[in-house]
Amino acid sequence: MGSLNQTSRRKILYFLITTIKFIFSKNGIRPARGQSFSIPTGKEPSNLNAANQDQIYQEFLRLAVGGKENKPVLLYQGVKNSPYKDQIKHYPRLLRQRPNGKNLVNGIQTDRNFKSYPILGKIPEIDEQGLSFLHNDIKEACICIGNFWENQFQVKWLGRNALNNVELWSGSKIIPLIYTATLINQKSPFANISEYNLQGLDQDNKAREIPLIELASDLITYEKILTTSNASGGMFKKFASQIEIENWLKNITGNTSLVFRGRYGDKPFMELPNLVERRTGKVIISANTADPSWACNSLSVYDLTRIISTLGWHNYLSQNSRFPFAHKQNLDTIIKILGTDPARLTDLAIKVLGLENSIDSVVIISKLGNGTSIPRERTEAVYVALVQFIDRRPQALGQPAKWITFSLALRGARSLTPRNIDREVVELDARMATEVTEIIQKLILNYS
């Protein structure tokens, strides 16, 4: 047998070290006996083959066991055990990083499909064939990939049924939270939402005054410190009529056929909340008292990808692409809140791909959604996220590190015959984690 060259030895050593660490990790996801995961080296253009993808799915399936209706194990694993929880406070700073063309370059190379981020109200061109690799259980998907070209931020959009208006469950709760922040800044351009309270009668008719960010945290974390996520989400839709919020959303994304007039199941924590400046006690915004015109929430995965990318990339966007009136410090506060989402599918993907010690400056902001649809007779799950990190692996080969940023929204669905909702939950939970893993691997290998 001929001697191995230096590059081959490096690949083998990397593979062995990563695999050993992975297998003996306390909370690691281990491959089945006699098999191993395909760990990418970041050099050769390989991707998950069908056998390895199925193997990863089977491992996630094992981890998802115990999930029940409305409580998938992986989707609700929580931020407490996330290796990135201590970085959340640094997310606003990390989201100002950009490639310099020297020691940090774009991780995704520019092609003719990259264009400037769309201005407000304009729907971009979406490559509807770009996500054909996703499993059939992913019914709708949208991915937006970012990079810089001559110091200008550019994006490429990929989709599967990306503009279909559908029920996206709790994934849409980020919208009224951001809308509320823009209302505050419309009244007071430099106001900090951390200095405001929500004041009113709660569900038990008790007078309450609570910091806005504490109720926003309950909306995202599902920890029920003060109230349920659904009750908090409904409350943040009470500062304007349903039509006003819907029209605001249409003016952001350009999707004029969407409907956003629904609630989230629970009675709002406060039916008539007032926004109060904590220091002075002054009411800045009063609750809307007009007769409600409730309908449904029927949005596209493009809409959610557009919203979370406009939020996370606000430092990179031109003024005519940003949320109107929103002050940077308030968007940064919301970014940190979204860092506490219980859905850690990106954490799992990074671990499975053996990237934990090879990437840094990691940002993961996200929002989960899930439920059992009676009309569609199936279990559904939603994952909306913006992810950014620096891949240091090329430095081992004397090359610049790679800066990678993307946002996505996925809606998956699973239906068994005969119906077994708990089993549907487990299988869909594993499928969502598997597809997020494949998306990330394709992106880091320039297979977008």
Assigned domain for 220 exists: yes
Q: Say whether both 84 and 198 belong to one domain.
A: no
Per DSSP, 117 falls in state P
Same-domain status, 287 and 380:
no
Same domain (yes/no): 182, 293: yes
Confidence of residue 50 (pLDDT cuts 50, 70, 90): low
Question: Is residue 114 domain-shared with residue 80, that is, in the same domain?
Answer: yes
Does 136 share its domain with 10?
Answer: yes
Both 30 and 140 in one domain: the answer is yes
Residue 332 falls within a domain, yes or no? no
Q: From the centroid of its chain, how far is CA 3?
A: 46
**Which region among 3-12, 150-159, 339-348 has the lowest average model confidence (pLDDT)?**
3-12
**Whether 18 and 157 share a structural domain:** yes
- Phi and psi at 187, nearest 5°, equal -80, -40
Same domain, 86 and 196: no
The reply to whether 305 falls in a domain is no
User: Where does residue 265 rank: exposed (0-12), middle (13-18), buried (19+ CB within 10 A)?
Assistant: middle
Is 309 a member of any domain? Answer: no
| C-alpha–C-alpha distance, residues 228 and 221, integer Å | 9
Give the DSSP per-residue string, 153-175. Answer: EEEEEEEESTT--B--GGGGGHH
H or E segment at 179? helix 174-187
Is 334 within the bounds of a domain? no
More confident residue, 291 or 343: 343
**Tokens standing for residue 75:** 């989707």
Judged by phi (left if over 0) then psi (alpha if -120 to 50, else beta), residue 265 lies in left
Q: Domain check: are 215 and 91 in the same one?
A: no
Question: Are residue 153 and residue 219 in the same domain, yes or no?
Answer: no
Q: pLDDT tens digits, residue range 353-412?
A: 999 999 999 999 999 999 999 999 999 999 999 999 999 999 999 999 999 999 999 999
- What does the pLDDT look like over 260-308, one tens digit per residue? 999 898 999 999 999 999 999 999 999 999 887 888 999 999 999 999 9
Average per-residue pLDDT for the chain: 89
The DSSP output letter for 61 is H
The DSSP-derived string for 329-361 is HHHHHHHHHHTT-S--HHHHHHHHTT-TTTEEE
Q: Does residue 190 sit in the same domain as residue 155? A: no
Query: Is there a domain that residue 352 lies in?
Result: yes
Residue 212 and residue 198: Cα distance in Å, rounded?
6
Task: pLDDT band for 323, please (50, 70, 90 cuts).
Answer: very high
Residue 310 lies in a domain: no
Domain extent for 197? 169-298
Q: Is the pLDDT of residue 37 over 90?
A: no
Q: Are residues 45 and 130 in the same domain?
A: yes
| Domain-located, residue 304 | no
Number of domains forming the structure of the chain: 2
